[in-house]
Every structure is written in structure tokens, then in C-alpha cells.
Amino acid sequence: MHREPGPSGRARVYRAPLQWVKSASEPGSCIGRAPENGVRERVTACRDGGPYTAGLVSQRPALGCLFEIVETLVLTLIIFLVIQNFVAQPYKVQQQSMERTLEPEQYVLVDKLTPRFDTYKRGDIVVFTPPADWGEDGTPFIKRVIGEGGDDVEIRDDGLVYINGEPIDEPYLYSDEPGGPPQLTTAPLDRASWTIPIGELFLMGDHRSNSADSRTFGPVEVDHVIGRAWLRYWPLSTFGILATPEYPDLSAATP
């Protein structure tokens, strides 16, 4: 503090700021004292002759960082499970029954979301849980929807499939050579026609002579269908949307 006389004879007091200097008792630390001669300036001197920096530097505890990592992993796992169980799931084609549309070792993305409000339609390719006597190690089957609930499905001697008395055009059927004539469809010896109950689907593979399907184990309940295959994504050379064919000449199913 510095005093000097004012105009009225009263002493005027100046409070000088502190200087920061090293403490002799604690090497490397800084203490404050008033400058001499009332010099109104701040002088800083601290460790290693560098300037003094106010404020504290805090380090996040390792336990907190670990908690954040675990929290992120759990959240990621939850999101993955929600997507896989309710939105979409990849599947590997393991059977030959959908040749040449889908070949073994290819991967498809199965839509689980839209079938909840958009029913399966004729021509859709679906992944489903087969009947207990037909499943191998719980491996799902992949087939095409041919008959819907209320349809009359018939396989005649001409090798064509009839829905409600009308033949359907099936350009996706397997052929011995690409672009060649499609393979004919044959029925089992004991049965050649089916009436599909409401809530069930008649499913067949595109490679009819190499497919275990509804011709042998009957229609499949919609509740056993996992989802609709809509994208072939691997190998990348086969990447493409699995379009659903149209059957404009067919009459509607009678409930």
C-alpha cells in the first residue's frame, strides 16, 4: 500500500496488485506479495522462470472412462439387437432350391419391419422356419410365395401352376442353361391341388426339381415366416434388389 498527499491534504491510498514470486520454502511454487514503491503493475515469476497460469488442471478418473466405454458398447448392442429382431437381418443362402434367382453362398437382407403392416404377396421371396420334420439344425428355408390364403393351387400335367383355375407366368423358374426354357413343375404322386387356409402361404422354390416345399409339407403359417428377402448384397458382383413379379391376369383369391 502506498500513501501520497492529496489536494486537500488528505492522504490518497493506492492498493497495488500482488506480485507473484517463488516461495523459498516450497521450491517451484508461487506466492503473492505487494510490489515495492507502489508500482502498479503485475510481475509474475514462477517455476522455471515461466509465467504463472491460474486455474486447475483436472484429469478424468480411469474408472469414469471405463464406464463410458461399457455404456457405449451396451447401447450399441441394444441397437443391433433391435434392428436384427424387428427391422432387418442378413441371411446366407444355403440351399439350391432358389437357383438361378439365388445361388448358394450368397447373402440377402431380410425385411422384418414392413410385413408387420404390409402382408406377404404372391411372388415375394421369404425366409421361414420349416416344419420340425424338415428343418436341419434350425436352418431357415427360403422360398417364393405362390399361393396366398384363400387361393386354390393346382399343378397340372402340362407342368404349369394354376391359381384359382388360371395358369401363372413364372419367368424366374430355373433353366438348365441361362436363357433356356424354364423347368416344368411336377406334383407329388398323391396330391396335385391345395386350398390355402387364411393366414397361410403356399411356398415353392424356383428350382422346382430340387426344392422341398409346400408340395410336400403343405402350406406354411404366416407366423412362421421370418421376413421378406428384398436385397441380395453379397458377393458385390450380384448386388441387386429382389423385385416381386406381377401377376396381372390372375383373379383375386376368394376368402
Q: What is the 3-state secondary structure (H, E, C) of the chain?
A: CEEEECCCCCEEEECCCCEEEECCCCCCCEEEECCHHHCCCCCECCHHHCCCCCCCCCCCCHHHHHHHHHHHHHHHHHHHHHHHHHCEEEEECCCCCCCCCCCCCCEEEEECCHHHCCCCCCCCEEEECCCCCCCCCCCCEEEEEEECCCCEEEECCCCCEEECCEECCCCCCCCCCCCCCCCCCCCCCCCCEEECCCCEEEEECCCHHHCCCHHHHCCEEHHHEEEEEEEEEECHHHCEECCCCCCCCCCCCCC
Give me the catalytic one of 97, 112, 211, 214. Answer: 97
Does residue 237 carry a catalytic annotation? no
Does residue 22 carry a catalytic annotation? no
Burial class (CB in 10 A: 0-12, 13-18, 19+), 237: exposed
Give me the catalytic one of 112, 143, 211, 214. Answer: 143
User: Which residues are catalytically annotated?
Assistant: 97, 143
